[in-house]
Chain A
C-alpha cells in the first residue's frame, strides 16, 4: 500500500469517525428563542397593517390640505367682497379709520403742508415713534368701524408731537352723548369701546369710538 492510499484511508477513517458529531441541542434552543424574539418585533401582519395605516394617513393628510386650501380661498374671496362693499358705502356712514395718528395731527391743529395739491396727491405721514398701536389693531381695523378722533379740551399740539399711546377702553354708552354723538336708548345700559390717545404727559388728548 503506497502513501497516497494510506492517506486516503486515514482521511476516510477520520471522516467516518466524525460522521456522528453534531452541535448540542442547546444551540437549537437558543436559535429558536432568538428567532421568536426577532419575529415578535416585526411580524408580517404588523408590517402589512403598518403600511396600510401609513397609506390611510397620507390620504387623510392630502384631503386635509385640499380642504384647507379651498377654505382659505373662500375666506379670501369673502374678505375681498367685504372690502368692495365698504368702498361702495355712502360718505355719511362712519368710515374705518386706518391711520389714527394722522387723524390726531389734524385734530391737534398741526400746521398743514404749504402745497395742498401735493398733500392731496400724497398725504404726508408723520411718524411718532412712541405712538404704538395695539398688536391686534391692524386686524381689528378690518372688522371694526371707528369714528374720527375727537379732541379733548386740554389737548395741545406740542404734546402730540412728542408722541403718545392709544389705549383701548370701555365706556358707558352715555359717554357718546357727551361728545355730541347719537345714543341708541335701547342699548343705553351697554358699554361702548373707545380708543383714547394718551400723550407722553400721561393725559388723554383725543378719543374715538369703536363699533
Chain B
C-alpha cells in the first residue's frame, strides 16, 4: 500500500509543488471526478468538461502556491478554479454561433439500462434527462448552486467559500433555483397530464 495515500490534499499539493509526480497523480485521481462532473453539469459539454479538468490541474501545477489552507480546502480551491474556467468558457460559447447540432456534444447521457421494467426505467431516464436540461437552462449563478449543493453534495459552508459569498446568499440562491426548476419542470408534467386527458376523451 502506498504510504502517500494517507496524506491529505494539502500535503499532496505541497509534495507536488516540490516536484513529486506521484503526489500529482494521487491528488488528481482523488479530485478529478468531482471537477469533471462539476464542469459537465455546468456546461453540458464533455469537451468543455475535459478541457476544464485539465486546465484546473495545470493551474494547480503552475500556481498551486497561491492556495491558502486558512481560506478553505484543496477541494474547494479546485472547484473555485473550475468555476471560473467554466464561466469563462460559457461566455465564449455564447459569443460563438453554433453551426449545427454536434451529435457527440448534447447527447443524453442517460439510457435505460436495467432489465427489471423497461417502461419504468425509460420513465426514470426521461425524468433525469428533463431535470438535467432544466438545470442547464438555469442562469449560471443559480445553476452553480444547484450543481454544488444538490448534485455534488458540497456543504453550504464550502459552497460559500467556492463562490466567495455568504452562506445566506447560498441558501437564498438555492431556494430561488429550486423554484425556477419547478417552474421549468411543471409545464412538461402538465402537458403530459393534458395529453393523457385528451387520449381518454378520444377513447
Contact = CB atoms under 8 A, between A and B. Distances in A.
Interface of A: 3-4, 6-8, 10-15, 17-18, 21-24, 27-28, 30-32, 34-36, 38-39, 43-44
Contacts of B35: 23
Chain A interface SS verdict (over half): helix
Interface string B22-57: 001100110011011100110000000110011001
B21 A34 contact: no
A17 B61 CA distance: 31
Nearest to B134: A10
B4 interface: no
B62 interface: yes
Interface of B: 16, 18-19, 21, 24-25, 28-29, 32-33, 35-37, 40-41, 49-50, 53-54, 57-58, 61-62, 109-110, 124, 127-128, 130-132, 135, 146, 150-153, 178, 181-182, 185-186
B114 to A, nearest CB: 12
B50 A35 contact: no
Given A28-B25, A28-B32, A11 B151 contact: yes
A167 B108 CA distance: 101
A31 B132 contact: no
17 contacts: A3-B186, A6-B185, A10-B131, A11-B131, A11-B146, A13-B127, A14-B128, A14-B151, A15-B151, A17-B110, A21-B33, A22-B36, A23-B35, A27-B32, A28-B29, A28-B32, A38-B62
